[in-house]
Amino acid sequence: MNQLSLCRDTSDSLKTNVKSVITPSLDTVQQVDINEREFRRASQSKSERWTLRTPTKRDIVARLERVSAEDASRLKQCCSAFRVLTCGLHPLRSYPTFRCKKPFCPDCAAERATRLGKQTEAKIREVMKTTSGRLCLLTLTTKNAATLDGGLVKLKKSFANFKRKKVFKNHIKGYFGAFEYTFNPKTNDFHVHLHLIILRGKFWNQSDISDTWRDVTGDSFIVDIREIKDTHKSVKEVVKYPMKPADLMTMPDEKFLEVVKMKKGTRMFISGGCFYNVKLDDDDAADENIFSQFAELIEGDACPFCGDELFDVLVNRQQHIGLHELGAMPNIVKNNSS
């Protein structure tokens, strides 16, 4: 009984709140709001803001405007408006009208990390049902490179040779991983490395791995291997942002342009062995950002909560954040009337 009245209360307050957030009109999508942090930061002084090290999307857009107006404008448009499927009271799912899919976009990187994390964890669970071994996190590094592209090419080539080695095949049943790069402003070069989650069949010690790695790279031997205790955490670590956003702010324009102009479709994820076919490529990135279990619903369907007809509304970024803050989007749980 209590639960029922609680539900009713929540739904009443939702009604007022959601209505005040959603205005079902195209006219509402005029202002482009760059980042929700902007709102949180509004009260902070300028000097306080500078001490916060993670740049916002607005910072990155401003940085980008100096080197490529076109890319800046795409980044600005990305996730500036969302379509929300709602009955007017219950927002059921939403997706941005445009996604830039750039690796340096905080919105797209976050969406990708979530999506890839889920896919990867599912694959690990599936594989571990039938395959024995220990999950480890292996990091392979190469010497700093003057260009990002050069660094990536060298690392990819080295890894291709590494995995062909007999000792690799003898010890490792499967792997998947992501390339990551950092920038060193003092030496003005990129540090490109590869984080891999591997399924280790036989124990392989670090110094042997290091020797083999030096063999294929010619000059690099720094590797790290550790057993994974928390799969979720390690997967998150591997599929996260390919670069630290703060690095974008410290690199000179020509290096920044390298990152921005990195060839589209540059493969940043790899997989093989028993993890072969872990879908880590961005090509099939879903445009939709579905926050709930209502993926199947479309306009004209009945709302599963109140039965009213569902329709699409366009909201801007600020309004979309408002919907989240209400907790309405992900948290509505179907109320079984019994």
- In the complex, the residues that contact Zn ion under the rule CB under 5 A are 78, 87, 89-90, 100, 105, 107-108, 303, 305-306
Nearer to Zn ion, 17 or 231 (CB): 17
As a whole number of angstroms, the distance between CA 24 and CA 86 comes to 10
Kindly tell me which of 90 and 320 has the beta carbon lying closer to Zn ion. Answer: 90
User: Which CB atom, from 211 or from 309, has the smaller least distance to Zn ion?
Assistant: 309
294: Cα within 13 Å, side-chain hemisphere = 27
- Sheet with strand 311-316: strands edge to edge: 91-96, 81-86, 311-316
DSSP string, 213-239: HHHHHSS---EEEEE-S-HHHHHHHHH
Query: What tokens does 294 get?
Result: 């209502």
In the complex, minimum distance from the CB of residue 77 to Zn ion, in angstroms, rounded to a whole number:
9
Minimum Å gap between C-beta 87 and Zn ion is 3
* Residues 330, 332: Cα–Cα separation, whole Å: 6
Question: Residue 52 or 302: which CB sits closer to Zn ion?
Answer: 302
- Distance of closest approach, residue 245 Cβ to Zn ion, in angstroms: 13
Q: In angstroms, rounded to a whole number, what is the distance separating the alpha carbons of residues 164 and 233?
A: 29
Q: Which residue bears the tokens 């990155």?
A: 60
Q: In the bound complex, what is the minimum distance in angstroms from residue 158's beta carbon to Zn ion?
A: 31
Three-state secondary structure call for residue 70 = helix
Q: What is the DSSP letter of 310?
A: P
Nearer CB in complex with Zn ion: 187/331? 331
Q: Cα separation of 58 and 73, whole Å?
A: 11
CB nearer to Zn ion: pick between 89 and 270: 89
Closest approach, Cβ 83 to Zn ion, in A, equals 16
Q: ∠ CA 74-77-81 to the nearest 5 degrees?
A: 155
Nearer to Zn ion by Cβ, of 70 and 219: the residue is 70
Number of residues that make up the chain: 338
Eight-class DSSP state of 268? -
What six digits make up the tokens of 261? 């102009």
Nearest distance in Å: CB 79, Zn ion: 6
CB of 90 to Zn ion, least distance (A): 4
CA distance 115 to 111: 6
Nearer to Zn ion by Cβ, of 105 and 274: the residue is 105
The least CB distance from residue 31 to Zn ion, in Å, is 18
Beta strands 172-184; 81-86: pairing state:
unpaired
